[in-house]
Amino acid sequence: MVENWQPLANIVTLKQRAQYLADIRCFFAKREVLEVETPILSPAAPTAPYLNSFTTDYIPIGSQSKQTHYLQTSPEFAMKRLLAAGSGSIYQIARVFRNGEQGKLHSPEFTMLEWYRPELTLNQLMDEVNVLIQQVFNFKSISRLSYRGLFEFYLKFNVFDCADDQIKYCAQQRIKGLSDDLQLDRDGWLELLMSHVIEPRLAAMNMPVFVYDFPASQAQLAQIKQDQQGNDVADRFELYIEGVEIANGYNELLDANELRQRFESDNQQRRDQQKPEMPIDNHLLAAMESGLPACSGVALGWDRLIMLALNKPDIKSVQSFSFELA
Amino acid sequence: MANISTNEFKSGLKFMLDGDPCSIIENELVKPGKGQAFNRVKFRNLKTGRVNERTFKSGDSVESADVMEVELEYSYTDGEFWYFMDPVTFEQHAADLNAIEDCKKWLKEQYIYTVTQWNGTPLLVTAPNFVNLTVADTDPGLKGDTSGGGGKPATLETDAVVRVPLFITIGELLRIDTRSGEYVERAKNK
């Protein structure tokens, strides 16, 4: 007989989780942001090289043919199609799936709160996130630090003009236990320094932090702009609470051609790494060609936020049944 | 030797790092939203006993370590090595000071110990939870005192010093908890 049928989260936690859901719906209702639902399954998938989608087969009844579908890693693409169709501000509380990711802060299946605000600039969206985490979750106000400033302050180099070798050298000096033959690209070394050196500092700050103006190479689906020093930066932010990455926000890329190029360069990277290429979402590209309104959007890890709000040690503790108990 | 991928990492897994056998204490996935994944691993070097950290690129692999635990009987020491015998095959295994240091004061001939071996070499010797040892020296006992309140130090046959009740005398056999190093009770003769 299987013994571990019970949830890891206790019933009190699940009630608190339900209350947060009610509160967040109230928060958006007051702001007249529309709740939407979009498909979890799609024949297209994000191309990001380090995002692994789950696949499943659609088999029409009476047929032998299998049509590969992907489980969403975020509801982003479908929500942008709604925006292009004139939905106005929308939000979604969605189940999302990321193959292979499991740990204290990762689960292959989790809940994401994602919202888009056509009438807000990225700065105004950051203000809204700030109000949300204070009002609904009782966290402290969020301070703002640029990516460049963080690296300059803690690691003494300029992320925009430092040579790759110097970044690698810095990582090997500052992070104990890296093998000498570790091979990473520039962004890989920067990410490693972020997670091993800077995140612990952010955790020690005792207040939530927005990191903004990422290197353009980490733009994902955000627009690229120039910062005050004239560096190309990605117009996006990440929210860290207690050193944990909680949310990722963009001044959304609007140019369909630019997006197609990013999808294709992602797929090129996938080919180089012997990973399967992902089918590009042509519906999204068509929607963007017809016109995505200027907008800001943010995706927030719901389980992580609740974990921190309730002082739990891992996201399992706030999920009714974690992946290994499913 | 087999290779182990980071996706098989879990606590207790034995692997080779820089030529030394190691045991994983904690394994954590580190991965920014859309960024590359790493495994941050806390491990014990089984040769030195030291705890360290290492970060691997997820998907990298390490060599597995031929580490196993066997039950061996302690035979004797020549001062440099401590010899243990397999009670079935009578094969002898020599452990150095490093391996027996933690349980040196609980080593008694003919007792069975858990020996962690790597490629047949003892890395670590662990004492059983309870051992019976004879009192080699202690102050004279107080007649009639059976309460055990207060207590006094007693040196056992292995040179371990433990606190014992006042009524204990030289030559008695005592049951000792090796985890806490505490006296449990008078032992019935083995």
- Whether B175 shows a pLDDT value over 80: the answer reads yes
Residue A176 has pLDDT above 60, yes or no: yes
Mean pLDDT across the stretch A102-120?
A: 97
Cβ atoms A46, A53 nearer than 8 A = yes
B-proximal residues of A, 248-267, CB under 8 Å: 248
The interface predicted TM-score of the complex, written ipTM, equals: 0.87
Residue B83 structure tokens: 């010899």
Please give the CATH topology (third level) of the domain spanning B67-126.
OB fold (Dihydrolipoamide Acetyltransferase, E2P) (2.40.50)
pLDDT for B190 beyond 60: no
Interhelix angle A256-272/A282-291, nearest 10 degrees: 150
Amino acid A194: pLDDT: 96
Say what the pLDDT of residue A124 is. Answer: 98
Judge: A50–B28 Cβ closer than 8 Å, yes or no: no
Mean pLDDT, chain B, rounded, equals 90
Q: What is the pLDDT of residue B102?
A: 85
Residue type, A102: Q
Q: Say which residues have a Cβ less than 8 Å from residue A248's Cβ, sequence separation at least 6.
A: A220, A236, A237, A238, A239, A298, A299, B33, B34
Closest approach of chain A CAs to the CA of B54, in angstroms?
A: 4
Q: Which among B29, B35, B36 has the least Cβ separation from residue A102?
A: B29
Judged against a pLDDT cut of 90, whether residue B38 lies above it is answered with yes
B36: chain A residues, CB-CB within 8 Å: 50, 184, 187-188, 191
Does B11 reach chain A within 8 Å, measured CB to CB?
Answer: no
More confident residue, A278 or B146: A278
Mutate to test the interface with A, among B30, B39, B40, B51 (most CBs of A within 10 A): B30
> Residue A241 in contact with residue A25, Cβ under 8 Å?
no
Query: With an 8 Å Cβ cutoff, is A88 touching chain B?
Result: no
The reply to whether residue B55 touches residue A178, judged by beta carbons under 8 angstroms, is yes
**Residue A179: what pLDDT?**
85
Residue B33: per-residue pLDDT? 86
Q: Residue B48 has what pLDDT? A: 84
Token pair for B134: 């004879």
Each residue of B15-28: pLDDT tens digit? 999 999 999 999 99
Alpha-carbon gap, residue B14 to A285, rounded angstroms: 49
CA distance B124 to B102: 9
Interface contact B182, partner A, CB < 8 A: no
Give pLDDT, residue B145. 59
For residues A189 and B55, what is the distance between their CA atoms, to the nearest angstrom?
Answer: 12
Contact with chain B for residue A60, Cβ under 8 A: no
**Strand order from edge to edge, sheet including A41-42:** A41-42, A67-71, A55-58
Asked if pLDDT for residue B149 goes beyond 90, the answer is: no
Domain with CATH 2.30.30.30 in chain B: 3-64
- Closest by CA position to A47, among listed A251, A300, A259, A255: A259
Mean pLDDT confidence for A8-34: 97
Domain boundaries for CATH 2.40.50.140 within chain B: 67-126, 130-186
Largest CA distance in chain A: 65
Q: Is B51 on the interface with A (CB under 8 A)?
A: no
- What pLDDT sits at residue B120? 83
SS3 assignment, position A274:
coil
Q: B30 vs A195: CB contact, 8 Å cut-off?
A: yes
Inter-chain touch A191–B32, beta carbons under 8 Å:
yes
Yes or no: say if A89 and A116 are a contact pair by the CB < 8 Å rule: yes
SS3 A52: coil
Is the predicted pLDDT of residue A2 greater than 80, yes or no? no
Q: Phi and psi for B181 in degrees, rounded to 5?
A: 70, 25
Average pLDDT over residues A179-205: 93
B148 has pLDDT over 60: no
Q: What's the Rg (C-alpha) of chain B?
A: 22
A147-155 and A186-193 are packed helices; what angle lies between their axes, rounded to 10 degrees? 70
Q: Is B5 near chain A, with CB under 8 Å?
A: no
Which pLDDT score is estimated for A240? 98
What is the H or E stretch that residue A79 is in?
Answer: helix A76-84
Q: Which of A42, A24, A21 is nearest to A33 (CA)?
A: A24
R_g over Cα of chain A: 20
The answer on pLDDT for A137 being more than 90 is: yes
Task: Using a CB–CB cutoff of 8 Å, tell me whether B12 touches chain A.
Answer: no
If DSSP codes are grouped into helix, strand and coil, which group holds residue A318?
helix
| pLDDT value of position B142 | 63
Percent residues over pLDDT 90 in chain A: 95
pLDDT band at B189 (very low <50, low <70, confident <90, very high): low
Token reading at B36: 């590359």
Tell me, what DSSP letter sits at residue B188? P
Q: How sure is the predictor about B141, in pLDDT bands with cuts at 50, 70 and 90?
A: low
For domain B130-186, give the fold: OB fold (Dihydrolipoamide Acetyltransferase, E2P) (2.40.50)
Q: How many residues appear in chain B?
A: 190
Q: Which CATH class is domain B3-64?
A: mainly beta
Residue type, B178: T
Q: Decide which of 1.10.510.10, 3.90.1150.10, 3.30.930.10, 1.20.120.1200 is the CATH code for A11-142+207-325.
A: 3.30.930.10
**What's the pLDDT at A180?**
83
* Residue A188 CB contacts under 8 Å (≥ 6 apart), including other chains: B35, B36
What proportion of chain B, given as a percentage, has pLDDT over 90? 70
Q: Dig out the tokens for A292 from the structure.
A: 């995505």
Beta-sheet strand order (sheet of B161-164):
B161-164, B152-156, B130-138, B173-177, B182-186
Rounded to whole angstroms, how far apart are CA atoms B29 and B11? Answer: 13
- How close does chain A come to B4, measured CA to CA in Å? 16
Scanning every residue of chain A, which has its alpha carbon at the shortest distance from the alpha carbon of B6?
Answer: A100
pLDDT at position A141 over 90: yes
Q: How far apart are CA B4 and CA B55, in angstroms?
A: 15
Residues from chain A contacting residue B52 (CB–CB below 8 Å):
176-177
The alpha carbon of residue B164 is apart from the nearest alpha carbon of chain A, in Å, by 42
What does the pLDDT read at residue A181? Answer: 85
**What's the whole-number average pLDDT of chain A?**
96
pLDDT at B12: 87
Least confident stretch, A164-168, A180-184, B144-148, B156-160: B144-148
DSSP A4: -
**Mean local confidence (pLDDT), A253-264:** 97
Please give the Cα distance from A17 to A278 (Å, whole number). 34
For tokens 């292979």, name the residue: A100
Q: B41 to chain A, minimum CA–CA distance in Å? A: 9
Residue A235: its H or E element: strand A232-241
